[in-house]
């Protein structure tokens, strides 16, 4: 395997294609006719070797192995720092020398002609600005020498600059090298998958054993980065909270009890779920340079943190090539805003399945009613009876996904009958039945709720009747439950795997319809964690 080339986002590819097309046009217009007469027959590396101001950079190019690359027929642009700018560079540090060299070379032609402000994609996959400024031009903030710019070699363009642009690590690289982040690094890096792409790779010859040698393309995938953000690329900006080993261990021990799993492999899955719970809210898709200036922040996975400055308290800030990284000795997330949030199931949403009996279901809008701003999502579910029997009452059962192993208070929220007819003052009377897994892992189905809001799993027990408010939205308390096992729903889950369900049943008799309404209007169900 000769080279490793990693596939990055479509944005970077598109930028490169656009840059190639536009810069080729600029090259043609800039170096046509009489200007082309000044084009050297030397390649870029040969041309640089003839410049007395570039002896140090040429030495660095050779150390990095890019002397042969800049001698090829492919087109490049080089922004070459002059000798005085490189006096502090330790030439024995090959890795650092290579980083700097790649940070000053890009594919395709970039003369100053037509440049106002452009972001250039470098060989090290960093993005650096090339712009007109102060009557001249600059690259990464370093000024181009006016009389040593747009030097045309046979395979590209050379610009001399009065300083060098330091290589800046991105957040992904920082996680991989910064001391004290071993726990975070071990989890994130363990999710990475590298694969040889034979279709994209080019066979360039054979070795001494007759085996094919490829200019290889290696694809990189990481399912965690796909969810929280592509921290390894340069075309987006992030702010990252990076927990030290101390912070990681403390958070892990605090969170893991919420992910008690049932069955074989439960311990391993509990570990993975806990690690994900720590990581999923560490990334923000914005620059948080001054945390105190934000009233709220949304993590890349959608969690909202109010007055978030406390999250960054005593953390050390690091400016990186694709954003900011705050290293912290304590993850200060509030449970209700991060790993143990409330679970709200909109009654009108049937995504998780929904069963009903002796009823027709309709989704209705609250817009234009007196309760327009009070109904969640401006929609609610109508459960209309199809029977007049007192022994066969209409009901709907709602699956509740993603419950953790912990305590919750269960509520059901109703819109009143007056949302339809303002003069309708009838109330609802309902019974509740809860399905869940008990401490032995047994599925309990339709346990009743008594008048004290306690769960009664005994077969044959009768649920208490609860009454709504006739004139306002009613958030009705159902019960409190401590789930012994978590029940997470993901892309690999089936609807049948959801073990927690709440059945909401009409309890109004046919003889009570003057005072009570047999048609139920349910806004949503909510499980609020008990911290």
The pTM score is: 0.75
Residue pair 522/414 in contact by the 8 Å Cβ criterion: yes
In sequence order, the β-bridge partners of residue 80 are: 160
Helix 266-279 and helix 182-190, axial crossing angle in degrees, nearest 10: 110
pLDDT single digits (tens) 149-207: 999 999 999 999 999 999 889 999 999 999 999 999 999 999 998 887 776 666 666 66
Q: What local confidence, expressed as pLDDT, does residue 36 receive?
A: 41
Residue pair 358/387 in contact by the 8 Å Cβ criterion: yes
Q: How many whole angstroms from its chain centre is CA 443?
A: 35
**Domains of the chain in sequence order:** 4-161 (2.30.180.10), 171-190+225-333 (2.30.180.10), 343-529 (2.60.120.260)
Q: How far apart are CA 23 and CA 43, in angstroms?
A: 19
Say how many C-beta atoms besides its own lie within 10 A of residue 195's C-beta: 10
Residue 154 tokens read as 């046979």
Q: What local confidence, expressed as pLDDT, does residue 390 receive?
A: 86
- What is the sign, positive or negative, of the torsion defined by CA atoms of 155, 160, 164, 170? negative
Residue pair 338/255 in contact by the 8 Å Cβ criterion: no
Say how many C-beta atoms besides its own lie within 10 A of residue 337's C-beta: 17
Residue pair 183/213 in contact by the 8 Å Cβ criterion: no
pLDDT single digits (tens) 500-517: 999 999 999 999 999 999
Most distant CA pair in the chain: distance in Å? 103
For residue 233, report the phi and psi dihedrals to the nearest 5 degrees.
Answer: -115, 170
Q: How far apart are CA 303 and CA 479, in angstroms?
A: 26
Q: What local confidence, expressed as pLDDT, does residue 127 receive?
A: 84
Say how many C-beta atoms besides its own lie within 10 A of residue 494's C-beta: 8
Instruction: Give the HSE-up count for residue 185: Cα atoms under 13 Å, Cβ half-sphere.
Output: 15
Q: What local confidence, expressed as pLDDT, does residue 236 receive?
A: 84
Q: What local confidence, expressed as pLDDT, does residue 3 receive?
A: 39
Q: What local confidence, expressed as pLDDT, does residue 96 receive?
A: 94
Residue ranges in the chain modelled with pLDDT below 50:
1-37
Contacts of 283 (CB under 8 A, 6+ apart): 228, 229, 231, 238, 239, 240, 241, 299, 300, 301
Count the residues in the chain.
531
Q: How far apart are CA 144 and CA 161, in angstroms?
A: 4
Q: How far apart are CA 42 and CA 31, in angstroms?
A: 16
Q: How far apart are CA 175 and CA 153, in angstroms?
A: 40
Cα 140 to Cα 76, 128, 318: the distances in Å are 17, 6, 19
Query: Which residue, among 44, 41, 27, 153, has the nearest Cα to 104 in the 3D structure?
Result: 44
SS3 160: strand
For residue 525, report the phi and psi dihedrals to the nearest 5 degrees.
Answer: -110, 145
Position of tokens 């319809």? Answer: 513
Position of tokens 């747009």? Answer: 150
């Amino acid at each position: 395997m000769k080279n490793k080339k990693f596939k990055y986002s479509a944005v970077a590819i598109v930028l490169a294609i656009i840059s190639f097309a536009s810069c080729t046009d600029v090259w043609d217009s800039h170096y046509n006719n009489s200007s082309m007469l000044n084009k050297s027959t030397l390649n870029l590396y040969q041309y640089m070797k003839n410049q007395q101001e570039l002896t140090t950079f040429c030495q660095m190019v050779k150390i990095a192995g890019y002397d042969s690359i800049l001698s090829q027929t492919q087109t490049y642009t080089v922004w070459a720092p002059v000798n005085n700018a490189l006096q502090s560079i330790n030439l024995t540090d090959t890795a650092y020398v290579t980083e700097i060299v790649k940070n000053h070379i890009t594919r395709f032609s970039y003369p100053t002609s037509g440049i106002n402000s452009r972001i250039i994609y470098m060989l090290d996959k960093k993005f650096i600005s090339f712009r007109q400024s102060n009557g001249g031009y600059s690259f990464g903030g370093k000024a181009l020498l006016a009389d040593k710019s747009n030097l045309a070699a046979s395979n590209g363009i050379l610009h001399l600059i009065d300083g060098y642009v330091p290589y800046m690590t991105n957040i992904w690289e920082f996680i991989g090298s910064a001391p004290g982040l071993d726990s975070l690094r071990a989890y994130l890096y363990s999710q990475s998958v590298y694969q040889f792409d034979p279709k994209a790779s080019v066979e360039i010859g054979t070795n001494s054993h007759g085996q094919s040698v490829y200019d290889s393309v290696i694809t990189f995938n990481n399912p965690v980065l796909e969810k929280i953000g592509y921290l390894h690329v340069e075309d987006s900006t992030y702010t990252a909270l990076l927990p030290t080993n101390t912070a990681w261990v403390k958070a892990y021990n605090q969170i893991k009890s919420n992910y008690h799993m049932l069955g074989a492999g439960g311990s391993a899955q509990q570990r993975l779920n806990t690690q994900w719970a720590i990581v999923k809210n560490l990334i923000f898709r914005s620059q948080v340079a001054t945390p105190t200036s934000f009233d709220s922040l949304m993590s890349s996975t959608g969690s909202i943190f109010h007055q978030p400055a406390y999250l960054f308290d005593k953390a050390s800030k690091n400016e990186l090539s694709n954003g900011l990284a705050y290293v912290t000795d304590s993850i200060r997330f509030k449970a209700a805003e991060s790993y143990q949030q409330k679970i709200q199931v909109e009654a009108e949403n049937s995504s998780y399945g929904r069963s009903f009996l002796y009823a027709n279901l309709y989704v209705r809008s609250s817009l234009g009613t007196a309760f327009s701003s009070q109904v969640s999502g401006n929609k609610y579910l109508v459960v209309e009876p199809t029977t007049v029997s007192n022994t066969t009452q209409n009901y709907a059962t709602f699956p509740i996904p993603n419950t953790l192993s912990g305590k919750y208070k269960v509520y059901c929220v109703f819109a009143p009958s007056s949302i339809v007819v303002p003069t309708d003052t009838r109330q609802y009377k309902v019974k509740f039945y809860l399905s869940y897994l008990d401490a032995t892992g047994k599925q309990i189905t339709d346990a009743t709720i008594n008048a004290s809001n306690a769960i009664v799993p005994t077969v044959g027990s009768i649920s208490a009747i609860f009454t709504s408010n006739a004139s306002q939205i009613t958030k009705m308390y159902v019960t409190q439950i401590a789930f012994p096992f978590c029940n997470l729903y993901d892309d690999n889950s089936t609807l049948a795997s959801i073990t927690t369900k709440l059945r909401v049943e009409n309890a109004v008799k046919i003889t009570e319809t003057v005072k009570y309404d047999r048609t139920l209007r349910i806004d949503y169900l909510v499980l609020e964690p008990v911290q």
